[in-house]
């Protein structure tokens, strides 16, 4: 977890996720730790980069375990096309947000 301080000096934590991004055009894969907001921002731009694939893993909830999360990017719901969510395998939403219409 990242530790931050708000304007009042109150400490809060931000969970991070292991993210793998695969570029099908050049066959390269990179991994990094990202917050939910960073992942939502990336997924919101993913329609501009269709060759890029993403996998998100929860590595902070249970010590010694890694859980792959399911990514439901923009346009997975045609009634709410900018809605993005990342869920556990049982459908429980880990985090969600909205992408940008380009």
Q: Which pLDDT score is estimated for 92?
A: 95
d(CA 10, CA 51): 41
Average pLDDT, the chain: 85
Q: Which of 11-25, 55-69, 72-86 has the lowest mean pLDDT?
A: 72-86
Give pLDDT tens digits for 42-55. 888 877 777 788 99
Q: Which pLDDT score is estimated for 74?
A: 72
Calculate Rg over the CA atoms of the chain. 15
pTM attached to this predicted model: 0.80
Q: Which of 22-26, 60-64, 72-76 has the lowest mean pLDDT?
A: 72-76
Cβ pair 92, 55 in contact under 8 A:
no
Helix, coil or strand: residue 69: strand
Question: Which is more confident, 37 or 6?
Answer: 37
Give pLDDT tens digits for 65-91. 899 999 997 766 778 888 999 999 999
């Amino acid at each position: 977890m990242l530790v931050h301080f708000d304007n009042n000096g109150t400490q809060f934590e931000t969970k991070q996720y292991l993210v793998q991004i695969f570029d099908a055009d050049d066959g390269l894969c990179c991994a990094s730790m990202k917050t939910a907001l960073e992942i939502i921002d990336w997924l919101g731009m993913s329609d501009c980069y269709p060759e890029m694939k993403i996998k998100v893993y929860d590595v902070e909830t249970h010590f010694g375990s890694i859980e792959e999360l399911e990514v439901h990017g923009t346009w997975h719901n045609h009634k709410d096309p900018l809605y993005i969510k990342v869920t556990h395998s049982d459908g429980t939403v880990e985090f969600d947000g909205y992408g940008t219409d380009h």
